[in-house]
Amino acid sequence: MRAARSWIAFGGLLIATISSSGFAIAAQGTQYPAPGKVPAAVDAATLRRIDDGVGQVMQRFNVPGAAVLVLKDGRPLHAKAYGLRDVEEGLAAGTGTPFEIGSITKQFTAAAVVRLQEAGKLKLDDPLARYLPDAPHAHQVTLRQLLGHTSGLHDYFDGPEQEVDALATQPIAFDQLIARIADRPLDFAPGSRWSYSNTGYILLGRVIEVVSGEPYADYVRRHLLQPLGMHHTFSLTDRERLDGMAVGYRHEGGVLRRSPYFHPDWSGAAGFLVSTLDDLARWDRGLAEGRVVSKAGLAEMTTPLRTADGDSTDYGLGLFVNSVYGQRRIGHTGGSQGFTTADEYFPDLGLRIIAFTNLGDKAPEAGITLTNAVFSALHPDIVAAWSRPAAGEDATVTARARASFEQLQAGRGYADFSDSLRTKLDAGLGQGLSRAIGSYGTPASLIYKGTSSSEKGTMFNYVATFGPGVFMPYRVRIDEQGRVAGFALD
């Protein structure tokens, strides 16, 4: 649930923002193969590519266990589990093993809110104050802005990592949780920007309780899970069901260790569900077929919100709506202390890929990396087209971009940056960047994706690749001395 940060710098000002796991940098002039070519069955060669891609990801990032499901037009095409669900006991992961799904929970919360709107019990554009009058900034933000991460409310998970890590395993009252951000000003004017915030979803969980008269977990179970036959989906509050789920792990000082769990008071409506591959596929099918919300409600969930300036946020209501490998993608990732997961749908291909892992490392997240690797195995032609550089590449600029990227990873040097930007990086901001991206390793390639305009000048767009399923957009602006005067890094 703790979102990854992207770091943006223009004109020497380095800013940390929150970003999705996808991006929409398109190579100028790139021609992609026609969509709709996913086969009705997976042949042996494709299965080997899937196994090879998954195996490389698991080996490179030391992922204990994983489970993957591929569906075409809602029908299962391939399912397989890898590795161990419990390292200490030597228990193998299975395709039916329950995994914590983290922020994939948010689409359940969003669907519940939309469902209540369709029942006439609330309106998305109502101010939060109509339901929670004492909540922070309740008169300034709407339910829609909470759902789409445009409220400006600060994230209650923010704070020193070790401190929050320890606190998040302990019970906490709702009022105490919200008190963590109650005295904070809004990060920005509501609707003016997008920034991922778990606070909005914790508040929405309480709104659901107020409007429905039911505890959040009961509402989800009675109105969402049971009607779809999702008998293997439960929450972290269901203690008696936790024994059969995968054990979460993360690396500490380079050593794989069993991870603590978020206490459900902390994750709640923002990310406390546990599920299986089959159950999550049931959810996706029910949502698509209009059995959770109406087709109009689903359209609202999958339409990106726009900021006050008209820019797309690439996020609807509980769902990212972006693109990868030149293909439209709708879905969400989930990340907790010991798990990373992803549920991604490619509408032009009728293709859905779900991946669960019991590794909580965030740089990169194994769940989304596996969905990318499986996509690459299914569609090597599309990925090959996406990997070709755009026309008009300037070798000198590319060399400067690669050198500057590697300096950001190393957290020192910064010889290829302008003086003003180097000063800010040396002052400590560079160390934060190094911690965020250094673990990705040396880029295998830096693919030129053309140019775009910013208010400060021309940006040269690249994608750094790091092996199967791992890539990162990187944009640079070059000053008159040929040095990097601004950059954007997701």
The CA distance from 206 to 203, in Å, is 5
**Looking at this protein, which amino acid is placed at residue 435?**
R
Phi, psi (degrees; rounded to nearest 5) at 469: 80, 0
Distance from chain centroid for Cα 147:
15
The set of catalytic residues is 103
The torsion defined by the Cα of 317, 16, 162 and 177, in degrees rounded to 10, comes to -40
- Cis peptide bond N-terminal to 347, omega within 30: no
Helix-strand-coil percent breakdown of the chain, rounded to 5?
35, 25, 40
The CA distance from 196 to 19, in Å, is 7
Whole-angstrom CA distances from 436 to 120, 284, 297, 376, 439 are: 44, 32, 37, 25, 7
- Eight-state DSSP code of residue 21: S
For residue 76, give the nearest of 378, 285, 344 by alpha carbon: 285
Helix axes of 105-118 and 277-288: crossing angle, nearest 10 degrees: 30
Contact between 456 and 35 under an 8 Å Cβ cutoff? The reply is no
Task: Classify strands 65-72 and 351-357 as parallel, antiparallel or unpaired.
Answer: antiparallel
**Tokens representing 142?**
């709407």
142-156 burial, b at 16+ Cβ within 10 Å, e below that, comes to bbbbbbbbbbbbbbb
For residue 111, give the nearest of 188, 38, 242, 201 by alpha carbon: 201
Ranges of beta strands (E only) in 308-403 are: 320-324, 327-335, 340-346, 351-357
The CA distance from 203 to 147, in Å, is 10
